[in-house]
Structure formats: C-alpha cells, structure tokens
Copies of this chain bind each other. A is one copy, B any other.
Amino acid sequence: MATNSHINPNARRRKEKLDVNELFNELHSGQVSALSRAITLVESTAGGDSAFAKAIIKQALPESGKSFRLGITGVPGVGKSTFIESLGRQLIERGKKVAVLAIDPSSNISRGSILGDKTRMEELVKSDQAFIRPSPAGTTLGGVARKTREAIILCEAAGYDFIIVETVGVGQSETAVHSMTDFFLLLKLAGAGDDLQGIKRGIMEMADAIIINKADGENQTAAKHARREFKNAIHLMPQKDHGWPTQVLTCSGLNNIGITEVIEEINNYQTHATANSSFTNKRNAQELYWFHQTIEDAIKTNFYNRPEVIAKLAVLEQKVLSKKKSPFDAAGELLAL
C-alpha cells in the first residue's frame, strides 16, 4: 500500500502541470484515477492554502451533497470490513455507487490503518462501482477529519451516491464521523461478554442504529439476548432530534444475513428524515459545526502556542493544583498576557 509520504512528492511535481478544470472534468465524469489524484492533492495540502486544492473543492462543492453518508463505528474485531463488504455489495446490486472512506488518527503511527489492507474487502475492491480509500495520514484529528470531509465532497462530485465513513474510534474520532454523516451505525458483538467492554462514553447515544454483528452459528442466542438488552437500554435514552427511534438489529456480515434489513432501516430513516426536514437541518448544522469547530480549534491552538503562554501555562496549572490560585484567577492572569 502506498502511503501519503510516497505519494506527495509525485503529487506536487505533477501539480504544476495539472489543469484544475481538466482534473475536475475527469473526476466529474467518474474517472477513478482523477478522483484518487484529487483526493491526494487535497490531502497533501489540507490546512495549507494551495490554490489548487481550494479550486478543486470550490468546483466540487456545488456537485456535492447528493449522496447518503453512513458512519460506522465498532471496536477492532467486531467485523467492520466484512460488514461493509456485504453491505456495499448489496448496495451496488441496488444500483448504488459506493465510496468507503476511513478516519483513523492513529494510522500515521501504526501504518496498519483500517482499510489499509484492502484485501479485507476483496469483492468490493474489484467492483467498478466501489471506491475504497484508506484513512489519510495526519497528526491531529482535526486535520484527518478535514481531509476525510473533503474526500466526501470529491467522491460525491464524482458520482458516488452512497458514502461509508468508518472509524475504529480512536480519541474523538467517532464524534468526527458522527458530525459528517447522515446516519451513524454502531456495530456490536454478541456473546463472550466483551461486547460491553470496548464501548466508549456517549457512543450509545450517538448511534442511530445498533447492529449486533456475527449473529451466526452458536452466537445466535447471545445476539438475540444482546438485542433485547440494547433495546431496553435505548428505551431509557433521550430521543434524537430527528425523532426516528434507534433500532437494534442483528446480522451476519460473513453470511450476508440481516444486511437487507439494515438497508431497509436506512431507507426508512431517509424517508422519515426527508419528510420532516431533519435530514437537511442536520446537514446544515454539520456544516456550521465544522465552520465553528475549525475557527475555535485555530484560535485555541494560536493562543496555547504563543511563547508567553507556553512559558506561563505549566506554572499557573501548578498554582491552581496547589491552591495558590483559583482556576478563574489563574485563567485571568494568562488571558492578560
């Protein structure tokens, strides 16, 4: 698998020769190589100010937004790849063009990024109706998330009408995926009791549907039991803004069982959310979320990176912890700098 560090130098060299209109036209006509190149270029300059990256996104923006964006999370071992393979195949059978992207802020270090090993989705990789892209490299979640969000826009402009964004849930990456997708799936395992270990705070309440995977063979009874437990638990949680009750389904990605029901659930949600306008409202709220989040991340980073703040911060934190200053007083001192 080629990593960004291998691609970037070539990309930069090629950039000078590239015509943005030409690349966009190729991308817009559905050429996979153009889409790949556009994503690579946008990724390599994200956070920077490359006129080229800006121009390609500017052209893609009006053509974007027409897909259904599905977020998927679940701990390693839950069978995400097999589930996506099975789901993606069925979507393609129904005439969809499927793009699979990933957010994994740890991929920079591990290289063993989710989706990196494309062979895990053998059939999907072979289909000319599927586009699979590993998690972009990056040192901050904000940077990685921005790259993935811009990749969504490019995929949509290239005609992909079903975008799957998966994450293993490192750091706050579920929140990032939740904030860039229309529907958020939590994949769970039944049996072995370990289904309850890996769950992170807030994920249950983010999920628009909980899918208990590997509900096959000896696992079926445990899966049914887990389903009942989750259904009861969800009953005790606040309703979503979109008013669509969170469903709990069981499936087997491996055996292609229950996948049709997942697609039906997504379709039903889409019909419901379109009818009550919550689909558009959520998208608009997400756009503004990323706008404000980018601003606030930047002003925080700017503040904490100022040399006089760096010089004072640790000292003030110690004064707070040793009760020499109240947190408010210490904050005031830092802000006065």
CA separation between A280 and B50, bound complex, in Å? Answer: 48
Whether the Cβ atoms of B294 and A303 lie closer than 8 Å is: no
User: Which A280-313 residues have C-beta < 8 A from chain B?
Assistant: 284, 287-292, 294-296, 298-300, 303
- B290, A327: Cβ atoms closer than 8 Å: yes
User: How often does this chain occur in the complex, in copies?
Assistant: 2
Q: A80 on the interface (CB 8 Å rule)?
A: no
Min CB distance A234 to B, Å, is 8
In the complex, how many angstroms separate the beta carbon of A108 from the nearest chain B beta carbon? 20
B200 lies within 8 A of A327 (CB): no
State A331–B316 Cα separation when bound (angstroms): 31
User: What residues on B are CB-neighbors of A204 within 8 Å?
Assistant: 236-237
Within 135-155 of A, Cβ neighbours of B (below 8 Å) are at: 146, 149-150, 153
Which one of B150, B202, B232, B287 lies within 8 Å of A233 (CB-CB)?
B232
A54 to B330, CA, bound (A): 11
The distance from the CB of A306 to the nearest CB of chain B, in whole angstroms, is 11
A: residues with CB less than 8 A from B are 46, 49, 54, 57-58, 61-62, 64-65, 146, 149-150, 153, 196, 199-202, 204-205, 229-230, 232-233, 235-238, 284, 287-292, 294-296, 298-300, 303, 316-317, 320-321, 323-332, 334-335
What are the 8 tightest A-B residue pairs by CB atom distance, in nearest-first order? Answer: A294-B331, A290-B327, A291-B327, A233-B233, A61-B323, A233-B236, A295-B331, A201-B238
